[in-house]
Amino acid sequence: MSFANLPSNHFLAQPRPDSLLPQHAGLVDTTTLAAHDFDVDNRTGFMPPQPPMKRLPLTWEVWESKLDAAVSQRLQLAERVEKMDEQRRITETGKSRAWRNSVSEMPLLLTEELKRSERALRRAHHVLSWLLHFYVQTIPSTESLLIPRSITIPLLQVSSQLQLPPVVTYSDDVLYNWAHKESHDENALPTIDNLRCQTTFTGTTDEAEFYLTSARIELRGTEALELMRLTMDEAFVGDDIAMCRITSYLERMATVIGELRQLLLSVKEGVDIEVFYHEIRPWFRGADGDPWGRPWIFEGRDEVEGWTEMQETSGASAGQSPLIQALDIYLGVDAESTQTSFISHASGKSFQERMRAYMPRHHRAFLNHLRGNQRPLRALVQKATEERCDSPILEAYNGALKALKEFRDAHMVVVALYIIGPARRAVKGVAHAAINDAMKPTPALNGVVPSERDEEAYHSVDKKETMEKTYNGYEDKEALKGTGGTDLVRFLKGVRDQTADAYLQS
């Protein structure tokens, strides 16, 4: 639904309430109502149909110029600098310190005018949160993490307006970090083949491809969202014709999820494993992921009226993708009800619930709307199966679950390759040459020659056993944390197994 044609005095056309200012008596809070379409486009899904703003107006140019400087100077992670030879360490330390000093000396800019535009607020959060991460992740281990007021105050104000945490999120990396690769028409819709990244920490194509892989998945997932909508419409009718249509939607959903899986596995084609683990991933860490356990101290945070501090502040994570959570909710794979071992001690919330706090607020509203569906798909299938044990909808539903389980398998493979493997090698100090040898194709197994780019190889018995051994090797040891702050190995295995357990019997 679009509000572009609504009269200016219509209640849905009223401005979004300012969370930093007291509300006048009688003012209608239209935050939820104005998000009736949940900021989900029927052509691009959770991705905006319009390219994100490339640059803030001149009033805030100093933020943009400092971000440009950080990127162009190729500022290095503190832990990487500390491993360099003395001369290079002195050079890199001096360069990052000079940049941080210039950021500390920035004038304190007002954000009031930014509230007039959602796109401007998103760009401001993108720029300020990236400045924050450049600032924090370049501070040597011997120094405390004191974030200057020049970043703290505007970032907290913008974050409060958007109801987002003051860190880089998945939406900053993926949803609002793209531009057309080739287009003279700013109104052209984004497509899988016509995307490029706006900002990266490392300036590498590997980092850009990492973000773009997720962006392509979000775009391809647009059809899945449409199938969800159609299913909910037919469930409202509930007659035999409706059940036949829902069956066909589920069959199509399995195909779409299978294509999402293919896109996920394609990350191997453009992202080097070692580059990702050692050079890219550390930039995403939030306040609860500092390698030396230092707290993030936001100078001037008490000066921001209305700001409520989060109990946990994790980094960007694929768990913050609204599409993946939507698939779980739609198919009735309710991880939150059974994954009690992943309840955070600090917040008392499940991983999925915590990750929703990092999503754009309208997307959170969409997921809440989906969870509140009075005619859930799983219950519909169960009822149809009770009435007729050979109901075709059961096979279609289980087929969609199977596709989702295989998507989880693929995610585990990617995590094993890009995180668990490098983490183990880093601990063991294996030479890079040995790493390359280990990544070569293994001998044929039952006539199948595994190859990590080959579709059958990802599902060969050999690969599955290798993956399980890799994961099991981390169990009962010090937990390997994901950027979302959870025990990565146990969580992924738990969600994958829970998806398999969701199959319905006739």
Annotated binding site for heme b: 411
Phi, psi of 146 (to 5 degrees): -100, 115
Helix axis angle, 205-220 relative to 222-237, nearest 10°?
A: 20
Distance of CA 314 to the CA centre of its chain: 12
Is 400 within 8 Å of 252 (Cβ atoms)? no
- Rounded Cα distance, 332 and 250, in Å: 13
The dihedral over CA atoms of 204, 220, 48, 318, expressed in degrees to the nearest 10, equals -60
Token pair listed for 22:
């007291």
- Rounded Cα distance, 149 and 82, in Å: 27
Q: Where are the beta strands (DSSP E) in 432-487?
A: none
CA dist list (Å): 395 to 266, 328, 486, 503: 29, 18, 34, 10
- Rounded Cα distance, 10 and 13, in Å: 5
Give DSSP secondary structure letters for 271-288: --HHHIIIIIGGGG--GG
Phi, psi of 363 (to 5 degrees): -70, -35
- Rounded Cα distance, 491 and 247, in Å: 31
φ/ψ region of 328 (left if φ > 0, alpha if ψ in -120 to 50, else beta) reads alpha
Q: Give the SS3 label for residue 81.
A: helix
| Residue 155 CB coordination number (10 Å) | 28
Is 52 within 8 Å of 176 (Cβ atoms)? yes
Distance of CA 453 to the CA centre of its chain: 24
Token pair listed for 487:
């025990």
Is 400 within 8 Å of 250 (Cβ atoms)? yes
Residues 6+ apart with CB under 8 A from 217: 260, 263, 264, 321, 323
- Rounded Cα distance, 256 and 491, in Å: 24
Residue with tokens 């140019």: 61
Is 63 within 8 Å of 108 (Cβ atoms)? no
- DSSP-assigned beta bridge partners for residue 296: 145
Q: Where are the beta strands (DSSP E) in 315-393?
A: none
